[in-house]
Structure 1
Amino acid sequence: MKRVKRLLVILLTGVLLFSMSTFAYAKSMNLEAVIAEEKLQKAYENVNNYAYANGVPLDLSLDTFIEEFKASHATDITEYENTYYRILTARQTAILPNSSGGGKWYYNTGTALPRSANYSKYKLLDSVKKGDIIYESKGGFGITGHTAIVEGKYYSSTYQQYYIRVVEAITDGVVRSVLDDTRVDEKDTVVLRVKGATDTIIANAVNFCVGQLGKGYMIDFQKNTSASEPDWYCSELNWAGYYNQGIDIETTGLYNEPGITPRDINNSSKVSNVPFK
């Protein structure tokens, strides 16, 4: 009997110690989660303050900030925060000028060619097709680089020439613009073609972007795909156009950034470079 009692005491002691250890571990994990949440919230506030101080039109929710952190599989909150600074800092050196403020002529041109376009240097007119994505490493407002989607090739009776028209989200909002050799040189442009996109997919992707003309420009890092979205940033609009047709042109893995950045599209395995030089 004494031996049984002794075994019961040992067993109960073990259970008690295990329970205490489990409780301590759970409490520790819960504390770590609280600390991580507080750090994420502080990082979110820092990013918003930085955007405000530098005049970047950012509308970033805390939920989106946390969701993107989890999706990125990042382990260092400080490094994740720094990712936003690297993206937003582009605004300092590669801002897309507002066309109403004396910007480049090829922005926000509408459906009429405002002046003769330059196609003397490259083979853009022969190489670029409807639905191609234009990536500009020296373009962008708020997000490093810039993207636009090719609406098609059009003819100007005024200047007796064909020209390439694109749809893009810039500070003026979602507008029509022109791509020519001059813009290629000034913005360090490459042309990307979406792999496996049929004529129907391309037409629908372009029509989606055309349907957003006139809407506002805003960076929010959300991955919006709805046609009723009130505002867009450049790469989000182009990505949504194809995403709604079943093709996700966002990159995955190591080089993925918060939201849908132009670099995400440029680095995607779903696009290929179109030679035109």
Structure 2
Amino acid sequence: MRFVIVTGMSGGGKSTAIHMLEDAGYYCVDNLPVSLIEKFSELITMPDNEISKVVLGIDARAGQAFEEVAGMIDAMKEKGIPTEVLFMDCSDQVLIKRYKETRRVHPMNVNDVGNRIEVGIAKERAVLAEVKKRADYVIDSSNLLTRELKEELDRIFVKNESYNSLMVTILSFGFKYGIPADADLVFDVRFLPNPFYIDEYKHQTGNDKGVQDYVKSFPACGEFLDKLTDMLQFLIPGYVQEGKYQLVVGIGCTGGQHRSVTIANELYDRLRNADGNYGLKLLHRDVKQAK
């Protein structure tokens, strides 16, 4: 029996996650009143119940006594009910962007639509804090594609593989287009010779072998990669231990097309081939920008 409670920030991907789990064969119930959660959990775990995989979606909409949920989760686990909690999180910046794009009122602001989106997000984080502490899985959807979210959910809830609490994103970018706002660590590789000034490589990128071979031909490149890889392998376990869920490592050069892309690709390969309890993804923010 798997009983999964899916909750999290409004706009963080909770509904999408529930739909994906439903497609994966889970029986899903969304937005059940908080007062019925414990009774529902008892019913679906009765010995004669034929349903073996259940998802319950709950959120902190206005009017819900959500402060009771944390206590209910503790009580269900004490009774031996196999309760798992999936918390869908997202950065404030991305949440604000999503709400502005959809022009929706934040659920925590329905009684005062004059409040800014930031106010509703802050209220919701406070309400959800205790539940998040009890989460078995926290997925930050800030930088996740729909396909990547599905892969992560399948890995945890279908294939029953181990959960990677930290998602590390290696992100190449160009300083001329600005430092990524969500970057936790930023490394400047403009000390390496720039392939842009060589006609053969000017219109290629760090995804092309010629550019890669050129950048990696300099001893400083290999030494930098060795030191950076070593540092990240030292830092990442500490981030995991401290409960960090998202780490964005920015690799920047002037235009974000040659040096940074090459270094990001190589760093991704090195970390991917290392043993570690973290997820890993690679993004090139500015590789398609006009040269």
Do they superpose with TM above 0.5? no
Return the TM-score normalized by structure 1. Answer: 0.22
Structure with the larger RCO, 1 or 2 (CA within 8 Å, 6+ apart): 2
- TM-score, scaled relative to structure 2: 0.21
